Amino acid sequence: MEAFALQLFNGLSAGSILLLIALGLAVTFGLMNVINMAHGELMMAGAYAAYITQNLFKDYLPASWFDSYFILALLVSFVVSALIGLVLETALIRFLYGRPLDSLLATWGVGMMLQQLARSVFGAPNVAVISPSWLDGGWQATGGVLLPYKRLFIIALVAVVLAAMYLYIYRSAEGRRMRAVMQNRDMAACLGISTRRVDALTFALGSGIAGIAGCALTLMGPIGPSLGTYYIVDAFMVVVLGGVGKLIGTFAGALGIGLANTLFEAWTNASLGKVLVFACVVAFLQWKPMGLAAMRTRSLD
């Protein structure tokens, strides 16, 4: 039972990390229908923002303040990635709406440019971000089950971000405008909604959430210019499996893939486990092509 509980927690933790990574993509891809291949590099920007914040605290502030740097790093990562996303949307993405292949190629090129920029500024080797001391160790749930504080913190962070996104999308005026534009852009424009402003804010929001995901990933290990490439395929898989445009579907897809991946790896190995997860996702999409939760729309196809 202890081994099963540990595997269940590992699956929940892996699913939470996937969910945090995919939440930003659920906005830019799921709601805006923009295939943003630079999403991983926006995560990388958030991770390096946390690294810079750590170094600033270490070099210029008293040592007693160091443990509080990570809370500020989350905010800095969000702002940095959101600003990069806002510039990207204003300078490039706005001209590529309705052209998925062009947006895919363009954002892939932007991602390569951001990777090379990171290598030029920070170097090619990975760098380490020191986690605050209050995240060291773990909670002894039972005699043989130790739950690391870092993973518990990520799960709590995902819950906070998910709740904030739900309140923004479904309970705020800006969220209602965003959903109106995504469901029927022409009608929303006729009602006086600035679709250009909504597009820019929505893309910036998704990019900022990617920055928070990058900051959280610094707790899991070293970071480098290629950080985003390890997660971009899984993030797209979560969004597609959950159902394009549905937040609850993204949540269910991330937890399902995280749990399945952990269980398959425990029964087989890492490589074969990943293959089995991909096979299950492909088989499921053959049965339900729209994913777990299909988005309802009032626009005419």
| Residue 234 CB burial class (10 angstroms; 0-12, 13-18, ≥19) | buried
Look at residue 298 and tell me whether its pLDDT is greater than 60: no
Higher pLDDT, 110 or 272: 110
Is there a domain that residue 241 lies in? no
Sign, Cα dihedral of 244, 250, 253, 254: positive
Sign, Cα dihedral of 203, 206, 212, 213: negative
Sign, Cα dihedral of 48, 50, 52, 54: negative
Longest dimension (CA), the chain: 63
Q: Tell me the residue ranges of DSSP E strands in 124-222.
A: 138-140, 146-148
C-beta of residue 84 within 8 angstroms of C-beta of residue 17: no
Which pLDDT score is estimated for 299? Answer: 45
Look at residue 6 and tell me whether its pLDDT is greater than 90: no
Look at residue 63 and tell me whether its pLDDT is greater than 80: yes
pLDDT tens per residue, range 119-131: 999 988 999 888 8
Higher pLDDT, 17 or 70: 70
Is there a domain that residue 5 lies in? no
pLDDT tens per residue, range 138-171: 887 776 677 888 888 988 999 999 899 889 988 8
Look at residue 296 and tell me whether its pLDDT is greater than 70: no
Which pLDDT score is estimated for 300? Answer: 41
**Residue whose entry in the numeric block shows the structure tokens 């990570």:** 70
Q: What is the mean pLDDT of the chain?
A: 85
C-beta of residue 43 within 8 angstroms of C-beta of residue 220: no
| Residue 174 CB burial class (10 angstroms; 0-12, 13-18, ≥19) | middle
Nearest-angstrom CA–CA distance, 205 and 201: 6
Distances in whole angstroms, Cα of residue 190 to Cα of each of 32, 177, 186: 19, 12, 6
For 90, the enclosing helix (H) or strand (E) is: helix 69-91
Higher pLDDT, 299 or 234: 234
Which pLDDT score is estimated for 143? Answer: 67
pLDDT tens per residue, range 259-290: 888 778 777 777 787 788 888 888 887 877 77
Which pLDDT score is estimated for 301? Answer: 43
pLDDT tens per residue, range 234-260: 888 888 888 766 778 888 888 888 888
Closest CA to 181 of 169, 165, 202, 195: 195
Closest CA to 293 of 242, 256, 237, 254: 242
Is there a domain that residue 57 lies in? yes
Q: How many domains does the chain have?
A: 1
Distances in whole angstroms, Cα of residue 230 to Cα of each of 17, 163, 211, 223, 227: 13, 26, 15, 11, 6
C-beta of residue 82 within 8 angstroms of C-beta of residue 43: no
Which pLDDT score is estimated for 294? Answer: 60
Is there a domain that residue 143 lies in? yes
Sign, Cα dihedral of 63, 69, 71, 72: positive
Look at residue 57 and tell me whether its pLDDT is greater than 80: yes
Is there a domain that residue 85 lies in? yes
- Total residue count of the chain as it appears in this document: 301
Is there a domain that residue 175 lies in? yes
pLDDT-derived band at 89, boundaries 50, 70, 90: very high
Which pLDDT score is estimated for 88? Answer: 93
Is there a domain that residue 77 lies in? yes
List the domain range (segments joined by +) for residue 173.
20-232
Distances in whole angstroms, Cα of residue 207 to Cα of each of 8, 12, 38: 30, 24, 10
- Which range has the worst mean pLDDT, 29-33, 50-54, 76-80, 219-223? 29-33
pLDDT over 70 for what percent of the chain?
A: 92
Which pLDDT score is estimated for 43? Answer: 93
pLDDT tens per residue, range 192-222: 888 889 889 999 999 999 999 999 999 888 9
**Residue whose entry in the numeric block shows the structure tokens 């990207």:** 88
| Residue 279 CB burial class (10 angstroms; 0-12, 13-18, ≥19) | exposed
Is there a domain that residue 30 lies in? yes
Closest CA to 177 of 195, 160, 204, 152: 195
